[in-house]
Every structure is written in C-alpha cells, then in structure tokens.
Structure 1
C-alpha cells in the first residue's frame, strides 16, 4: 500500500486511490496471518490490555488521571450502553459490550495514527467476525431464556398479527433475524471505515501530486492538504461514532432477545 505521504502515480499521471490500496502484502513471509491488519488486531489487544491493567492497578478513591480515563470508558459502556438499553440483568453483558466497544474503537483509530494509518475494520472479514459473535450471543440468550421453540415461534409468528399476514411477514422476519441483522451490522462498520480511509488517501496523495506539478498546481496543493486535515478530524468522529453504533445495536439485539415479546 502507498503511504499517505508517498506519490500515487504511475508514469506521468495521477492514479487515484482505489480498493487496491487496501490489499496489503504480508509483512514477512507469504502467510496471510502476517499482514498489517492482522498485526494491528494483535497490537490493539495488547494496547487495550495494558491500558486498563495499568489504569486499574493502583485504584484509589480519588482517581489519578489515568485511572479516571479508564473508569470513564467503562462507566460509559456500563451505564449508557448496557444498563440503559438492556435494563434488568445487564451486568452480565457488560464485559462483552465493553470488549466490543474498546476493540472496535482502537482498531478504527489506527486509521489516523501516524505510521500505522490503516483502520483494521476497513477489511470486511473483521466486521464479519464481530457481527457473527453478536449474532451468536443474542440468539443464545434468547433461546436460553425462552426456550428454542418459543423463541423461534415468536420470530416466525409475531403476536397480534392477522394470520393471513404471516405469509408475507414470516419470511421477512426470518430473513431479518438470520441474515439482514448480522450483514448490515458488519457492512455498516466496514463501509464507513473503507470510505473514510479512501477519502483521506484522495486528498493527501492528491495534494502531494499537485505539489510536484507546475507553479499553479503548487499553489492549490495546500488546500488539498488542508481538506485532508479537516477530514482527519471528521474521520475521528466517525470512528468513535461507528464503535458506539455497533455496540449500541449489539445491546439492542440482546435486549430484544431477552424481551418477552420481540
């Protein structure tokens, strides 16, 4: 992949960034497990673990700034995403939602961190796996609480609906629960990270290309760099928002599975 400060050109013309810029070769060897996205995933696990271990190691009544930062993230997930959405018995889902949120957020932020500059979730396989875990969790808790027959019966035959409407509604409900939910959950995250990174490449690499042109283009290049900087801040907000939305929807699906009627 061309870096954000390299010239994206072949011959004499500018080659716009494309999906090819997301096809990263292995860092060493020929294994698919040594690519940059895989490295970033392992790095995120290490960073998250180290951060929260250190922030909680010397916990005090009057927290330090480090402890306060860690507790703020945890309290946000526990109160705003778990308690307010799931309600009763929410605490048993806090570890999962907390892990989900911090993992996605960290890997998203890699897209704007110098030297790393690649959002892991722009590789669709990772959102697929995360959506798969959400899919398994919310169906499991629903079946465990209500029993398999009652759970799937309520999915296929919604209470209070005229029987004639089941011909149309039942296939749609099955499609929604078994395919649409995990698919849209993963593709929403992937598409936002992919598109955001592609926009940053366009303006940063475009500004670099303009700067190496004639004098008129050199005068325009700072504007391209300025837009790239503005988009970096915008991308930061999108990265945080997407981590929040993914975790929020996971909590909503769990809450729906636990409801007496869903």
Structure 2
C-alpha cells in the first residue's frame, strides 16, 4: 500500500503522480505495459484447430526463409576470391567450426558435428535477432516450443553419440558411475548424475534460451511503450522523460542484439560440451 505523505509539498507531488498513473492505466489509451500475452498472440489462420497459425509462427517462417535464401544464394555464387557477402557467411561458418566445434571437441572429432552445431547456431542467432528487427519485434525463440525442439535435437545427438562410442551399457556406466569414487557413494551420486544427464542438461538448454528472450522482449517493449506514452500522450511536464526512455530503448536494443548472439553462442558451446562428454572415455 502507498502511504500518503504528510508534508504539503510531498503531498502535492504524490497527488500529481497518482493522477498521472490513473490516467495512464485508464481504458482506451495511456501507458500500456507489456505482458505475457505478447507471447500468445491471437491466431491469424486456422483458429481453433491443431494447425493454428499466429504471429510468432509467421516470424519464424520469415526468418527461416531469409536464412535459407541467403545461404543458398551465397553457396551458388561462391567464388575462389570471396566478395563481402561471401566473407560474412564464411566468417560465421569458420567461427562455429574453429572457435566452438574444434575448440571443444578437437579437430578430428569436430568434423562430424560441425554441420549440426553450425545449423543450430545460425538458426538460434537469426530467430533471436528477430526480436530487435522492426516489423518483427519478437524473437522466434521467445516461446518454449522451439527451444525445446533445439534442446531435444542436441539431447538425441548426445545420447546417440554416447551409445555409438561406448554401447548402451558403457554409456550408462560412464555417465552414471563416475570413476574414482568409493562404491558406497554411488547411492548418492548415481541419482544425481541421472537427473543431470537425462533431465537437467536438456531442460536448462531450453529454459535458459527462452527466459533470456522473454525478459529481453519485456524490457524492450516496456521502454518503447513508455517513450510513446511520454512523447504522445503524457502532459507537457512529462515530455522530457520521453527522451530518457528513448535513449534507454536504443541502449536496450543494442544490448538485446548482444544477448541474442551470446545466447546462440552459449547454447552451441554447451551442445558441443555435452557431445564431448558423451564420447570421451571418462568424465
């Protein structure tokens, strides 16, 4: 509960602030803060069916079409002496191959997983950046379904790599029974390792990604909505605050672009680490 101040000047400021807040939250206008409903937009097509199609799915399709087109055109126009566009594409590919796959898995082991890691990195990076692109304004990974798909893909590859390398029994032994531990400790450690391998690793991959994209979207929409309110609808005494929130919106846009790239990097690094853990002899 807000306590009404007793000092006359404080009371006047309190009354003015209360009036502005009531006006901002009124029906039909004023400041409209972001909410979780942003991530559950109304359907565009096929409402009420299992094939319901909404704005977030449209953003995903647009991003996918653009990425596929860019890489197909880039591959068809590839030259021995690359141009600027080819250089940018090769920079992304080399970054994943050298700085992630080979760095974590080693040169020889990385060759098998470079296509997987590159595909996931480019897809997540592109879908994340949709959140700061005008007209799209929301990340394709800000709803849990797609992060789960990426995490499940990594998890299946992780299990498959481990079983191929050690067999089912060998993979379970190396994963659930850490070497060098007294046998009686397995009563405590094995359930923990089971949760880590089969629940925590895939779950944290998806949750970390979606949580960052949700929080980034909410912060960005908050300052953009506040800027619109202060500059368009608020009284003259509050116009100056619009410049502050506008500056915050620019800063948050750059920060969100950085977070989009960082989360793609973290996701793929962890995927490479998990793959390496599944194929090495001892953890």
**TM-score range for the pair, normalised by the shorter chain length:** over 0.9
> Is 1:84 the counterpart of 2:135 in the alignment?
no
Moved over 4 A (4+): none
Does the 8 Å CA contact 2:104/2:276 hold for their aligned counterparts?
A: yes
State the alpha-carbon separation in 2 of the partners of residues 100 and 213 from structure 1. 44
State the alpha-carbon separation in 2 of the partners of residues 79 and 13 from structure 1. 51
1:198-228, CA deviations, whole angstroms, 9 ceiling, x for partnerless residues? 0001111011112211111112111111101
What is the CA-CA distance between 1:59 and the residue it aligns to? 2.0
Does the 8 Å CA contact 1:56/1:70 hold for their aligned counterparts?
A: no
Alignment TM-score, normalising by the size of structure 2: 0.86
Distance 1:85 1:10, change over 3 A: farther
> Is 1:27 the counterpart of 2:48 in the alignment?
no
Q: Which residue of 1 is the match for residue 12 of structure 2?
A: none
What is the CA-CA distance between 1:170 and the residue it aligns to? 0.6
What is the CA-CA distance between 1:129 and the residue it aligns to? 1.2
State the alpha-carbon separation in 1 of the partners of residues 31 and 252 from structure 2. 21
Q: Which residue of 2 is the match for residue 144 of structure 1?
A: 164
* Bigger Rg, which one: 2
Alignment TM-score, normalising by the size of structure 1: 0.93
Distance 1:28 1:256, change over 3 A: same
Q: Which residue of 2 is the match for residue 174 of structure 1?
A: 194
Does the 8 Å CA contact 1:109/1:119 hold for their aligned counterparts?
A: yes
Aligned length: 256
**Gaps in structure 1 of 5+ consecutive residues:** 1-6
Does the 8 Å CA contact 1:111/1:120 hold for their aligned counterparts?
A: yes
State the alpha-carbon separation in 2 of the partners of residues 10 and 23 from structure 1. 22
What is the CA-CA distance between 1:260 and the residue it aligns to? 0.7
Does the 8 Å CA contact 1:8/1:16 hold for their aligned counterparts?
A: no
What is the CA-CA distance between 1:16 and the residue it aligns to? 2.1
